[in-house]
Structure 1
């Protein structure tokens, strides 16, 4: 059934990012976008808004 395949997910309005200091370095961040199960793109061309 289709109900077995639906997973919980979040939309743009479900997430709130607060400004502040972060210990994450830019070199540790991934901006990959998964196009298909076997195709990844290393640039963030899919936007949320």
Structure 2
């Protein structure tokens, strides 16, 4: 989770992560909101279901 996610972030993840990774943008003026935690929770459940 970050307030800026660009091509270099995607490239870094592809080069350094073998497993699943989530790149999720957070609005820097609002910070983490409930919907961000919903996205994270959904992603974690999906990753756990894949095991």
Q: Give TM-score, length-normalised by structure 2.
A: 0.23
The higher relative CO (CA closer than 8 Å, separation ≥ 6) is in 2
Q: Which structure dedicates a bigger proportion of its chain to helix?
A: 2
Q: Which structure dedicates a bigger proportion of its chain to strand?
A: 1
